[in-house]
Each structure stands twice: as C-alpha cells, then as structure tokens.
Amino acid sequence: MDNLRCNRLTCRRVLTEKAVVPQQDLVDCANELFNASRLCPACDTSLTEPDDVVVCSLHPSNDYKTSVLSGLNPAIIVEICGRALSFWQYQVHQEHSFQQAVVRNLNEKNAQIQKDLNNVVREGS
C-alpha cells in the first residue's frame, strides 16, 4: 500500500496532503465526523483530549523532519517510529478488509447474475 486512504467507507479517497490522525485511525472527512460527536469513526472511542485528533502533513518539509525529533532520547524516537509503523499496519489492515468486502460483494452479485442467466436460458429452451 503506497497511499493512505480515508477510512470512511463512503469516501475512501487517497489522502495526498494532510491526514487527520486520531489515536488509531485516519479520516479525511474530519470536519463532518469530528465536529459534532468527537468519536473515532473506526472504534467509536470518545476523542476528548486535545491531542486525540492531530492533523499531520503527509509531505513534511526537511526542516520539520529535522527539528521535530531533534533532542529527543533515541528510545523515545524508536517508540515514535514503532507507533508510526503500527499506524501504517492498521491502515494496511483496513484497506485489506475493505478490498475483501468489495470482492465478497462482487462475488455475490456475480452469483446472482449467473443464477438469473441460467433461469433465462432454461426459460428460453
């Protein structure tokens, strides 16, 4: 998976510039989803703390990348990297689950079309 996608099933757009990152989910449709309820759309967790939802740039500048971790203990940097990898793993899992649902839906539609075709052929014989 090269791109992050909005986890909202009615959207699924590729995120190109920014992402809204709750503790464990990513949603591009942030205004609609977070303004009223402040609930994570993936798990319905209440997002009450100011840092529960963070807008992050998907293309940070070199200056930002240099300064954001500067001065931190290497153990903290490794922990941050681990969380970032977990986030991407979650996103890959979400995309895989979405694609499985699409395939199941298409297989069901195909089976129904095949059944309808067989009925038409039988009636025409």
Residue 20 β-bridge partners = 27, 55
In a domain, 5, yes or no: no
In a domain, 7, yes or no: no
Dihedral over alpha carbons 30, 54, 56, 87 (to 10 degrees): -90
- Residue span of the structural domain in which 90 resides: 18-124
Residue-wise pLDDT for 5-49, tens only, equals: 776 666 777 777 766 665 444 444 555 555 556 666 556 667 677
pTM: 0.58
The span from the CA of 32 to the CA of 85, in Å, is 27
In a domain, 1, yes or no: no
Average pLDDT over all residues of the chain: 78
Taking CA atoms, 35 is separated from 23, 30, 47, 68, in Å, by 16, 8, 11, 28
Confidence of residue 120 (pLDDT cuts 50, 70, 90): very high
3-state secondary structure of 103: helix
In a domain, 48, yes or no: yes
Contacts of 5 (CB under 8 A, 6+ apart): 12, 13, 14, 15, 91, 94, 95
In a domain, 115, yes or no: yes
Task: Please name the amino acid found at residue 1.
Answer: M
Residue-wise pLDDT for 88-102, tens only, equals: 888 888 888 888 999
In a domain, 6, yes or no: no
In a domain, 67, yes or no: yes
Count up the domains in the chain and report the number: 1
The span from the CA of 83 to the CA of 32, in Å, is 26
Residue with tokens 């969380």: 83
In a domain, 62, yes or no: yes
